[in-house]
Amino acid sequence: MARTLGWTEAEVVEAGDVLRLLMLRTSDDVVLLPAFQLQDGHVVDGLTEVLRILETGTKGRWTWAQWLNTEVPDANPRRNIDYLRAGRLEEAIRDARHDAWAWNS
């Protein structure tokens, strides 16, 4: 991830800590950085805003990863990350607010 972004490893970890990147930890403390959050060698625009909204509903980063990347059969786009890739930030924010509210209820 660091090489792709042209960042140091410390910058990548910091970006994960402040939600500029989605950083996941396994039960044995291995750090994972999903590639789906990148487009053309850059973090997709709007990711930070969406992650901060999702955080209001749950602190579970694995849940955020599922929310971003799970295919919904009849949706357009099929995955929430695709809103961001298509520059449809307002729609991604709308759906993130709705789901974060539902998780928090």
The pLDDT of residue 73 is 87
- To the nearest whole number, what is the mean pLDDT of the chain? 96
The pLDDT of residue 21 is 98
> Comparing C-alpha atoms, which of 36, 58, 56, 59 is closest to residue 47?
36
> Comparing C-alpha atoms, which of 70, 11, 75, 66 is closest to residue 43?
11
Cβ 85 vs Cβ 35: under 8 Å: no
Q: pLDDT by residue (tens digit) across 46-79?
A: 999 999 999 999 999 999 999 999 998 888 899 9
The pLDDT of residue 75 is 84
The average pLDDT across 4-24 equals 97
For residues 83 and 105, which has the higher predicted lDDT (pLDDT)? 83
pTM of the model: 0.94
Cβ 54 vs Cβ 96: under 8 Å: yes
The average pLDDT across 5-31 equals 96
Q: What whole-number distance in Å separates Cα of residue 64 and Cα of residue 62?
A: 5
